[in-house]
Protein backbone atom coordinates (compact mmCIF):
# COMPACT_ATOMS: atom_id res chain seq x y z
CA UNK A 1 0.00 0.00 0.00
CA UNK A 2 1.41 3.39 -1.04
CA UNK A 3 0.50 5.11 2.22
CA UNK A 4 2.17 2.33 4.18
CA UNK A 5 5.36 2.93 2.21
CA UNK A 6 5.20 6.59 3.21
CA UNK A 7 4.93 5.57 6.86
CA UNK A 8 7.84 3.16 6.51
CA UNK A 9 9.94 5.95 5.01
CA UNK A 10 9.05 8.26 7.89
CA UNK A 11 9.95 5.64 10.48
CA UNK A 12 13.24 4.98 8.71
CA UNK A 13 13.99 8.72 8.76
CA UNK A 14 13.50 8.60 12.54
CA UNK A 15 16.12 5.87 12.80
CA UNK A 16 13.78 2.89 13.05
CA UNK A 17 14.08 -0.26 10.96
CA UNK A 18 10.44 -1.38 10.94
CA UNK A 19 9.77 -5.03 10.21
CA UNK A 20 6.91 -6.21 8.02
CA UNK A 21 5.23 -7.53 11.18
CA UNK A 22 5.40 -4.11 12.82
CA UNK A 23 3.98 -2.39 9.74
CA UNK A 24 1.20 -4.99 9.59
CA UNK A 25 0.43 -4.31 13.25
CA UNK A 26 -0.05 -0.63 12.51
CA UNK A 27 -2.33 -1.45 9.58
CA UNK A 28 -4.48 -3.73 11.75
CA UNK A 29 -4.52 -1.16 14.54
CA UNK A 30 -5.81 1.40 12.05
CA UNK A 31 -8.55 -0.98 10.84
CA UNK A 32 -9.70 -1.67 14.40
CA UNK A 33 -9.62 2.02 15.28
CA UNK A 34 -11.96 2.82 12.40
CA UNK A 35 -14.25 -0.15 13.16
CA UNK A 36 -14.60 0.75 16.83
CA UNK A 37 -14.86 4.46 16.14
CA UNK A 38 -18.32 3.81 14.69
CA UNK A 39 -19.44 2.54 18.12
CA UNK A 40 -17.49 4.74 20.53
CA UNK A 41 -15.77 8.09 20.10
CA UNK A 42 -12.06 7.32 19.78
CA UNK A 43 -10.78 9.86 17.27
CA UNK A 44 -11.97 12.63 14.96
CA UNK A 45 -9.05 11.82 12.65
CA UNK A 46 -9.97 8.86 10.45
CA UNK A 47 -8.25 9.28 7.05
CA UNK A 48 -5.50 6.68 6.63
CA UNK A 49 -2.47 8.91 6.14
CA UNK A 50 -3.62 11.39 8.79
CA UNK A 51 -3.98 8.65 11.40
CA UNK A 52 -0.55 7.27 10.55
CA UNK A 53 1.08 10.69 10.82
CA UNK A 54 -0.91 12.50 13.53
CA UNK A 55 -1.39 9.49 15.81
CA UNK A 56 1.12 6.75 15.02
CA UNK A 57 4.16 8.73 13.90
CA UNK A 58 3.51 11.43 16.49
CA UNK A 59 3.44 8.75 19.22
CA UNK A 60 6.80 7.22 18.30
CA UNK A 61 8.37 10.64 17.73
CA UNK A 62 9.42 10.41 21.37
CA UNK A 63 12.63 8.93 19.98
CA UNK A 64 13.51 12.54 19.06
CA UNK A 65 13.28 13.60 22.70
CA UNK A 66 14.28 10.69 24.87
CA UNK A 67 16.80 7.86 24.97
CA UNK A 68 14.40 4.93 24.85
CA UNK A 69 17.23 2.42 25.30
CA UNK A 70 17.29 3.23 29.02
CA UNK A 71 13.53 2.74 29.47
CA UNK A 72 12.14 -0.56 30.71
CA UNK A 73 8.71 0.63 31.93
CA UNK A 74 6.24 3.25 30.73
CA UNK A 75 2.82 4.42 31.88
CA UNK A 76 0.62 6.29 29.40
CA UNK A 77 -1.75 8.53 31.38
CA UNK A 78 -5.07 9.31 29.71
CA UNK A 79 -4.24 6.96 26.86
CA UNK A 80 -7.61 7.29 25.10
CA UNK A 81 -7.40 5.24 21.90
CA UNK A 82 -3.93 4.03 22.89
CA UNK A 83 -1.76 6.99 21.95
CA UNK A 84 1.15 7.12 22.47
CA UNK A 85 1.37 3.82 24.39
CA UNK A 86 0.47 1.23 21.76
CA UNK A 87 2.58 2.67 18.91
CA UNK A 88 5.50 2.88 21.36
CA UNK A 89 4.91 -0.76 22.31
CA UNK A 90 4.85 -1.85 18.67
CA UNK A 91 8.18 -0.16 17.95
CA UNK A 92 9.79 -0.93 21.33
CA UNK A 93 8.46 -4.43 22.08
CA UNK A 94 10.72 -5.04 25.10
CA UNK A 95 9.33 -2.14 27.12
CA UNK A 96 6.70 -2.89 29.76
CA UNK A 97 3.72 -0.62 29.00
CA UNK A 98 0.76 0.35 31.18
CA UNK A 99 -2.20 2.15 29.59
CA UNK A 100 -4.28 4.18 32.04
CA UNK A 101 -7.71 5.58 31.22
CA UNK A 102 -10.84 6.48 33.16
CA UNK A 103 -13.28 5.19 30.53
CA UNK A 104 -13.90 1.44 30.50
CA UNK A 105 -15.23 1.27 26.95
CA UNK A 106 -11.96 2.69 25.63
CA UNK A 107 -10.07 0.07 27.59
CA UNK A 108 -12.29 -2.63 26.06
CA UNK A 109 -11.09 -1.43 22.67
CA UNK A 110 -7.46 -1.38 23.80
CA UNK A 111 -7.70 -4.90 25.21
CA UNK A 112 -9.02 -6.10 21.85
CA UNK A 113 -6.13 -4.39 20.06
CA UNK A 114 -3.59 -5.93 22.46
CA UNK A 115 -5.10 -9.36 21.87
CA UNK A 116 -5.40 -8.98 18.09
CA UNK A 117 -1.81 -7.76 17.71
CA UNK A 118 -0.56 -10.38 20.25
CA UNK A 119 1.31 -7.70 22.18
CA UNK A 120 3.04 -8.95 25.32
CA UNK A 121 3.79 -7.22 28.62
CA UNK A 122 1.26 -4.45 28.08
CA UNK A 123 -1.64 -3.86 30.46
CA UNK A 124 -4.67 -1.61 30.79
CA UNK A 125 -5.69 0.04 34.06
CA UNK A 126 -9.12 1.56 34.65
CA UNK A 127 -9.30 4.60 36.90
CA UNK A 128 -8.48 8.24 37.49
CA UNK A 129 -4.81 9.16 37.61
CA UNK A 130 -5.42 10.90 40.94
CA UNK A 131 -6.48 7.58 42.47
CA UNK A 132 -4.16 5.14 40.68
CA UNK A 133 -1.10 7.27 41.51
CA UNK A 134 -1.78 6.61 45.21
CA UNK A 135 -1.56 2.84 44.74
CA UNK A 136 1.74 1.30 45.84
CA UNK A 137 2.10 -0.85 42.71
CA UNK A 138 1.99 2.24 40.50
CA UNK A 139 3.37 5.11 42.56
CA UNK A 140 6.93 6.03 41.57
CA UNK A 141 7.28 2.71 39.74
CA UNK A 142 7.90 3.80 36.12
CA UNK A 143 11.01 4.89 34.25
CA UNK A 144 8.89 7.08 32.02
CA UNK A 145 5.41 8.58 32.08
CA UNK A 146 3.99 9.86 28.80
CA UNK A 147 0.79 11.70 28.05
CA UNK A 148 -0.91 13.23 25.03
CA UNK A 149 -3.90 14.16 27.17
CA UNK A 150 -5.39 17.60 26.58
CA UNK A 151 -4.76 19.51 29.79
CA UNK A 152 -2.49 22.31 30.94
CA UNK A 153 1.03 21.32 31.98
CA UNK A 154 0.45 22.22 35.63
CA UNK A 155 -2.45 19.77 35.84
CA UNK A 156 -0.57 17.10 33.89
CA UNK A 157 2.47 17.44 36.14
CA UNK A 158 0.36 16.72 39.22
CA UNK A 159 -1.27 13.74 37.53
CA UNK A 160 1.84 12.25 35.92
CA UNK A 161 4.99 12.96 37.94
CA UNK A 162 3.82 10.84 40.94
CA UNK A 163 4.06 7.72 38.72
CA UNK A 164 7.73 8.33 37.90
CA UNK A 165 10.73 6.82 39.70
CA UNK A 166 13.47 9.13 40.91
CA UNK A 167 15.84 9.62 37.94
CA UNK A 168 12.97 8.81 35.58
CA UNK A 169 11.09 11.34 33.46
CA UNK A 170 7.68 12.65 32.44
CA UNK A 171 7.32 13.59 28.77
CA UNK A 172 4.31 15.65 27.75
CA UNK A 173 3.24 15.73 24.09
CA UNK A 174 2.13 19.23 23.14
CA UNK A 175 1.40 21.38 20.14
CA UNK A 176 3.43 24.54 19.62
CA UNK A 177 3.30 27.62 21.89
CA UNK A 178 4.08 25.69 25.08
CA UNK A 179 6.26 28.45 26.56
CA UNK A 180 3.53 29.98 28.75
CA UNK A 181 2.48 26.55 29.98
CA UNK A 182 6.02 25.74 31.06
CA UNK A 183 6.26 28.99 32.98
CA UNK A 184 2.86 28.49 34.64
CA UNK A 185 3.68 24.89 35.58
CA UNK A 186 7.02 25.67 37.26
CA UNK A 187 5.56 25.61 40.78
CA UNK A 188 3.61 22.36 40.23
CA UNK A 189 6.65 20.65 38.70
CA UNK A 190 8.83 21.50 41.70
CA UNK A 191 6.20 20.47 44.26
CA UNK A 192 5.85 17.06 42.56
CA UNK A 193 9.60 16.47 42.80
CA UNK A 194 10.27 17.30 39.17
CA UNK A 195 12.73 19.48 37.34
CA UNK A 196 12.05 20.96 33.91
CA UNK A 197 14.85 19.83 31.59
CA UNK A 198 14.04 21.00 28.09
CA UNK A 199 11.50 21.40 25.36
CA UNK A 200 11.96 19.99 21.90
CA UNK A 201 10.07 21.49 18.97
CA UNK A 202 9.79 19.58 15.74
CA UNK A 203 7.86 19.46 12.50
CA UNK A 204 5.51 16.53 11.97
CA UNK A 205 4.64 16.55 8.27
CA UNK A 206 3.82 20.26 8.41
CA UNK A 207 2.41 20.25 11.95
CA UNK A 208 4.28 21.97 14.78
CA UNK A 209 4.76 19.66 17.76
CA UNK A 210 6.54 20.01 21.11
CA UNK A 211 7.88 17.63 23.72
CA UNK A 212 8.31 18.87 27.27
CA UNK A 213 10.75 16.76 29.28
CA UNK A 214 10.59 16.83 33.07
CA UNK A 215 13.00 14.76 35.18
CA UNK A 216 12.05 13.31 38.57
CA UNK A 217 14.66 14.36 41.14
CA UNK A 218 12.87 13.76 44.46
CA UNK A 219 9.88 11.87 45.88
CA UNK A 220 6.42 13.33 45.38
CA UNK A 221 4.84 14.35 48.73
CA UNK A 222 2.23 11.79 49.82
CA UNK A 223 -0.68 14.26 49.68
CA UNK A 224 -0.30 14.57 45.90
CA UNK A 225 -2.03 14.19 43.58
CA UNK A 226 -5.04 15.82 45.21
CA UNK A 227 -8.50 14.25 45.03
CA UNK A 228 -10.02 13.41 41.63
CA UNK A 229 -10.95 16.51 39.64
CA UNK A 230 -9.03 19.01 41.75
CA UNK A 231 -5.83 19.19 39.63
CA UNK A 232 -7.93 20.17 36.60
CA UNK A 233 -10.20 22.62 38.46
CA UNK A 234 -7.49 24.19 40.60
CA UNK A 235 -4.08 23.81 38.91
CA UNK A 236 -1.12 24.49 41.20
CA UNK A 237 0.39 27.88 40.42
For the stretch 15-68, pLDDT in tens is 999 999 999 999 999 999 999 999 999 999 999 999 999 999 999 999 999 999
Collapsing DSSP states into helix, strand and coil, what is residue 190? helix
**Confidence (pLDDT) at 69:** 94
Long-range contacts at 87-91 (CB < 8 A, ≥ 24 apart): 87/26, 87/29, 87/55, 87/56, 87/59, 87/60, 88/59, 88/60, 88/62, 88/146, 89/119, 89/122, 90/22, 90/25, 90/26, 90/29, 90/117, 90/119, 91/11, 91/16, 91/18, 91/22, 91/60
Mean pLDDT across the chain: 95
Across residues 186-213, what is the average pLDDT?
A: 94
User: Does the pLDDT value for residue 1 go beyond 60?
Assistant: no
Across residues 68-76, what is the average pLDDT?
A: 97
5: confidence class by pLDDT, cuts 50, 70, 90: confident
User: Does the pLDDT value for residue 179 go beyond 90?
Assistant: no
Q: pTM for the complete prediction?
A: 0.96
DSSP per-residue string spanning 88-141: HHHHSTTSEEEEEES-HHHHHHHHHHHHHTT--SEEEEES-HHHHTTSTTTTT-
User: Does the pLDDT value for residue 199 go beyond 70?
Assistant: yes
What is the extent of the structural domain holding 84?
2-233
Q: Give the residue from 144, 199, 148 showing the smallest Cα distance to 167.
A: 144
How many structural domains compose the chain? 1
Any residues with CB less than 8 A from the CB of 41 and at least 6 apart, and which? none
Span of 107-116, 203-212, 223-232 with lowest mean pLDDT: 203-212
**Confidence (pLDDT) at 3:** 63
Q: Phi and psi (nearest 5°) for 119?
A: -80, 140
User: Does the pLDDT value for residue 82 go beyond 80?
Assistant: yes
**Confidence (pLDDT) at 231:** 96
**Confidence (pLDDT) at 67:** 95
**Confidence (pLDDT) at 207:** 87
CATH number of the domain bearing residue 135: 3.40.50.150
CA distance 100 to 80: 8
**Confidence (pLDDT) at 12:** 95
**Confidence (pLDDT) at 2:** 58
Amino acid sequence: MKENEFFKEQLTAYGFEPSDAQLSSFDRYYEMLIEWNEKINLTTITEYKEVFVKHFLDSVSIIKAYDMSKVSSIIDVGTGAGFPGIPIKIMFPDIHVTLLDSLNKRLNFLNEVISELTLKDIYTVHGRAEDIAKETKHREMYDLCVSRAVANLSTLSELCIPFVKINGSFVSYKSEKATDEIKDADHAIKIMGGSFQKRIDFDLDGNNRTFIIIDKISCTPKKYPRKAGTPAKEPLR
